[in-house]
Amino acid sequence: MRRIKVLIVDDSALMRELLTDILSSSPQIEVVGTAGDPYIARDKILRLCPDVLTLDIEMPRMDGLTFLERLMASHPMPVIMVSSATERGCDTTFRALELGAIDFVTKPALNLDGGLKELSDEIIAKVIGAFRAGVRRRSRSPVIELTPAQASAGIMENKTAACNSAYKVVAIGTSTGGAEALLSILCQLPADSPGIVAVIHMPPVYTKSYAERLNRSCHVNVKEAEDGDRILPGHVLIAPGNYHLTVHRTGTICKVRISDTEKVSGFRPSVDVLFHSCARHLGSNAVGVILTGMGHDGAAGLLAMSLTGAHTIAQDERSCVVFGMPREAIKLQAATQVLPLDQIPAQILRHGYALPAESGGSRAGGSRAGGSTGGAPGTGSSDTGPPGMRLQGPASSEQSRVQCRSLNST
């Protein structure tokens, strides 16, 4: 079997050496070269024809984002970003995912002692996953735009429905490719959507930045979950990195709990943990959605939800970046529906409100719902043309500045 050819692009010689050692330890991977900046990388891509690129963000002469954008326009290929776990690093990483990167890993510390094996396994798995995913053309679904009359009528209908099914909770799980997939779904939901809880495989720091980014882009309120937060209509709670998220119900009130218990299905947070808690505490008063991602996390949990009467949805292969988690759920016959990404929001609204079939999908957009989630006390000019992948001159500081923009303004 042919090994996966990888080119490592990083301005740090020590980091290039560390990544080379990590990736070369896998019998499935061959590091065919390294590059200290995008100009060297361009020449080596054309000469060595790598299958996957690992790309640093901050580099001399041209930053990683500018290079990624030009690369995807002229010579698209699977790219894994290697990013620092800082606030600025998070923002630029999410911008890289928008531009077409398959996934990202946190840059390993050069003095890392414990945990290097685990981090090495993650990097190797993501490179292999990126190779299998190939290059996917990504399209964003627009935010729903309705006339003022439609919006007013829709919001009133939704508020009535929400009162009649106050305990419906939508649980979403995803991994590789999920940052953009979840953004695409949430941006199409109105401000009074059913309450949503979500698990995405991301390290600490990133989940908070990701939730803030979603909150700037969507009609619904989005935040990183805290222990004791209530699940309310118009609000989305994202599991914090390295903590499991579970749903609990007391009478008419649904809350989340956060815990750092052992990893499940190889992950913390785990989609299986969230889904099993929904099956146990909510039964048919829940909707389960499993999106793009490597591995099998969430498949067994989605089956448990289905067996207790919840409506369950799996993203279809064509619209997935990696058809791993949905495929495993489908194999278990855990999914009531298998749908392309752009059809999932309408079904979330239809089954989240438990309305008749003819009402599904005609939901209104609108301004963000006010209020808090009520946490428990104490918790608080470039040339992108194809010929030779031309790169004209180092990017200026103005050109390389990256600003996080809301989807509503694009």
Catalytic residues: 175, 201, 297
Residue 398 is inside which H or E element, if any? helix 397-400
Q: What is the full DSSP assignment across 231-287?
A: --TTEEEEPPTTSEEEEEEETTEEEEEEE----BTTBSS-HHHHHHHHHHHTTTSEE
Tokens, residue 227: 């222990």
Provide the H-helix boundaries in 100-177: 116-133, 148-164
**333 with 356: CB under 8 angstroms?**
no
| Burial track 302-317 (b if 16+ CB lie within 10 A, e otherwise) | bbbbbebebbbbbbbe
- For β-strands 244-250 and 253-259, DSSP reports them as antiparallel
Backbone angles phi and psi of 278, in degrees to 5? -65, -40
Q: Residue 360: how many CA atoms within 13 Å on its side-chain side?
A: 12
Residue bearing tokens 């929400």: 162
Evaluated on CA atoms 359, 361, 366, 372, the torsion sign reads positive
Residue 164 burial (10 A CB sphere; 0-12, 13-18, 19+): exposed
Residues paired with residue 235 on neighbouring β-strands, in sequence order: 221
What number of residues does the chain have?
Answer: 410
Tokens, residue 127: 């490179």
Letter for the amino acid at 178? Answer: G
Cα 84 to Cα 81, 175, 405, distances in angstroms: 10, 19, 20
